[in-house]
Amino acid sequence: MPFRLPKQGAPQILAFLAILLADRLVSPQFFDLRLQDGRLFGSLVDVFNRGAPVALLSLGMVLVIATRGIDLSVGAVMAIAGAVAASLVDTHSVPLALGAALGVGVLCGLWNGFLVAVLRIQPIVATLILMVAGRGIAQLITEGRIVTFTSPQLAWFGNGSILGIPAPVAITLGMLLLTLFLVRGSALGVLIEATGANARASELAGIGTWAVTIAAYVWCGLCSSVAGVIAAADILGADANNAGLWLELDAILAVVIGGTSLFGGRFSVILAVLGALIIQAMNTGILLSGYRPELNLVVKAVVVIAVLLLQSPRLAGLGHWFNRNRTI
């Protein structure tokens, strides 16, 4: 057979292709690509480009969810990182501004990880603190204004390109490969899955579950800060109120669509990113079709419910029950 669908993730790939096809039906120019000023343009490129921030968030989120946690603060961390980068870049060097923004992301991740792993606070509550306070901190940094900047180097992160590929897409791809290398190139991925599946058993087996958990939150913080820099670079400014607003929900949704269970355990980084692209393809499709963009929320809600119902332990139980009856 010349082409076979991979065993895992076939539903997601088929869904993505189906949505792209639907997009093609509503907008005949959907697959048109053109090269201008050394950068690719077109609706399809837009799907990847616009989906980059959520894809980056889902990279971190998938690891956190695999440890049986959740990170509600990613949107707020995006706002903080964007605020730091934008307010530093015009007075300091670009590497320093970037380093500070990413450093802040790591710090936020450490804080979340500390609350969850050391103080043992429920993840949804622990990260709620930073979600509430984080936006306030971002506004404190920008002094409540929208801080604009002129640095072309930082703007590159939003509008630049590498070999014709838009910079956000290239960065996301880089982060995806790096994440894959870290979790699948070493035992870290297995340790994360073990921690999520049964923390107690893992600890008895000698896994430092607290270190694994903190690592997952730190990675999530780092990915969020990269997404924050891209979001700020995209509009040449940091908007503490709106940067990353509600994106935590999209990121969780992307992970869920990617088939990772909210109860922890097995996870797939690639499928989570694919989940983010599916969401973006739907968004773009609704925009192109001329329906009101408000429809998006309803469609998203229906997709969440449908995917969750498929994942539901109760439904899986029913499946087993049917199978058992058939074999008897």
Binding residues for other proteins, rule: CB under 8 A, are 65, 68-70, 116, 119-126, 128-137, 139-140, 143-144, 199-200, 203-204, 209, 240, 249, 252, 256, 262-264, 292, 294-302, 304-305, 308-309, 312-315
Closer residue to other proteins, CB minimum distance, 35 or 309:
309
| Region label for 207, one of left (φ > 0), alpha (ψ between -120 and 50) or beta (otherwise) | beta
Smallest gap from Cβ 312 to other proteins, in A, equals: 4
Smallest gap from Cβ 206 to other proteins, in A, equals: 13
Beta-carbon contacts of residue 274 (< 8 Å; ≥ 6 apart) = 9, 12, 13, 16, 257, 258
In whole angstroms, give the CA distance from residue 170 to residue 297.
28
Closer residue to other proteins, CB minimum distance, 20 or 255:
255
Smallest gap from Cβ 82 to other proteins, in A, equals: 15
Closer residue to other proteins, CB minimum distance, 21 or 315:
315
Closer residue to other proteins, CB minimum distance, 35 or 124:
124
Smallest gap from Cβ 239 to other proteins, in A, equals: 13
Q: Which two structure tokens, joined as six digits, stand for 47?
A: 């799907």
Using an 8 Å Cβ cutoff, are 171 and 222 in contact? no
Smallest gap from Cβ 132 to other proteins, in A, equals: 5
Smallest gap from Cβ 122 to other proteins, in A, equals: 6
Q: Greatest CA separation found in the chain?
A: 74
Cα three-residue angle 196-246-136, rounded to 5 degrees: 100
Residue 47, judged by CB atoms within 10 A of its CB (0-12, 13-18, 19+), counts as buried
Closer residue to other proteins, CB minimum distance, 151 or 224:
224
Residue among 113, 74, 117 nearest 255 (CA): 74
Closer residue to other proteins, CB minimum distance, 94 or 129:
129
Q: How far is CA 87 from CA 188, 221, 235, 243, in A?
A: 36, 20, 14, 15
Closer residue to other proteins, CB minimum distance, 151 or 213:
213
Smallest gap from Cβ 224 to other proteins, in A, equals: 17
Using an 8 Å Cβ cutoff, are 218 and 239 in contact? no
